[in-house]
Amino acid sequence: SAPTMSAFGVAASLIRRAASVVASTRRHRVHRHQSGRSAHGAPPTRTRPMRRRPLGWCVRAGASSYEPPPGGALDTHPLMSITTGGRFTVRDLDLVVDEVDIGGACGTIKLVRPKSEDDVLDVYVEIGREDADPYWAALWPSSVALARGVAGVVMDVEGEGMEQAMDGDRSASLAGLNVCDVGAGLGLAGLAAAKRGATSVSFYDREPLALQCCLLSAEANGLTVAVGRAGEGPARDVSYGDDDDGKAYGTACVAEVFDWNAVRADQRTFDLVLACDVLYEAHAVAPVAALIPKLTNASSPRGRWMLADPPDRAPKNRAAFLERVKLDHGMELVRERRETVTRAGSTDDVLVLDLRLR
């Protein structure tokens, strides 16, 4: 039996050594672009660790190349200088801009994103974070469905939510509300809230690259980008622009790196919290549910969440979340509707859940 065990040991050693060589090769295959990239380092070359792509859909058609305006106001925004892995900002990636037709009160929203989530994956491999999720860089059906939900909801003084006709009025429904787009990714729903006239929109995500895309999109849509925590004293404006129609939007857009497993003690609360695709994993149910009292303005009868979730992806997780938030935090499901999203040759159904505090 000893020779047999030895053979197995040799085989295992060879496998481990091969895996080590592959990982090392991925980390060191880097090329440098000669164009004006930031000093944090050029983007890595195309590599792809073995990992399963989440089931779903993302926009591929109609995007055009995007370069942040040289010398633009966002150049001095502190969040734009936060690096991922101590090396990379979003300016180190090839960027594109999508024009996403939300319709109704929001019309078309410009969305700045990396050209490919594979490019983001390459960044993660280069900095040794092979298990990090790059798919925030794709636009998913849930984001479109949630943005459409924001475009069609009106919130009255009693906090009741009701759908209204898409009459193109950007200011009637969300004026006076402070909104949070948590786990924002590319921030499409938050951008929709801003175009609907919310007082402030805070983009929360743990990935600085995602938040930098949110701010670039806000600027591209002619929104005010501010420094500081919106709603807590005067925020310093960084940029204020006009959209293609020559109309400016006064919503203060801010972005903060946010870890829902380590919420700060002085965390501010919001009238409306937006979230999508946050219940894929069973282990996310408890921390997301725990955000209800931490992010929701309980002193206002308008305290509300809107959540988008694919109907068949993780129904048990969704059911567990709804039960937990009702029993533990008094957050009830007011309305559930199915939104059909068709884009880039694909059609998907998404559930949009409207919840409020009792």
Whether the per-residue pLDDT at 30 is higher than 50: the answer is no
Q: Which residue has the tokens 């700060």?
A: 264
Per-residue pLDDT of 155-166, as tens digits, reads 443 444 444 433
Question: Worst-scoring range by mean pLDDT, 45-59, 134-148, 240-254?
Answer: 45-59
pLDDT band at 198 (very low <50, low <70, confident <90, very high): very high
Order of all β-strands in the sheet with 95-103:
64-66, 95-103, 107-114
Whether the per-residue pLDDT at 55 is higher than 70: the answer is no
pLDDT for position 229? 61
Averaged pLDDT of the chain: 78
pLDDT band at 33 (very low <50, low <70, confident <90, very high): very low
The residue among 167 and 196 whose pLDDT is bigger is 196
Q: Which of 226, 218, 158 is nearest to 186 (CA)?
A: 218
Whether the per-residue pLDDT at 241 is higher than 50: the answer is no
CB atoms closer than 10 angstroms to residue 232: 12
Mean local confidence (pLDDT), 50-57: 39
Asked if residue 289 lies in contact with residue 325, where contact means CB atoms within 8 angstroms, the answer is: yes
CB atoms closer than 10 angstroms to residue 34: 6
pLDDT band at 17 (very low <50, low <70, confident <90, very high): low
Which domains, and CATH codes, for the chain? 64-154+173-231+249-357 (3.40.50.150)
Q: Which residue has the tokens 């959540």?
A: 307
pLDDT for position 301? 64
Question: Worst-scoring range by mean pLDDT, 76-85, 221-230, 250-259?
Answer: 221-230
Mean local confidence (pLDDT), 222-236: 65
Per-residue pLDDT of 289-341, as tens digits, reads 999 999 999 886 668 999 999 999 999 999 999 999 999 999 999 999 999 99
Whether the per-residue pLDDT at 28 is higher than 80: the answer is no
Entry pTM: 0.78
Percentage above 70 pLDDT, the chain: 70
Using DSSP's 3-state secondary structure scheme, residue 15 falls into: helix
Mean local confidence (pLDDT), 149-156: 69
pLDDT for position 228? 67
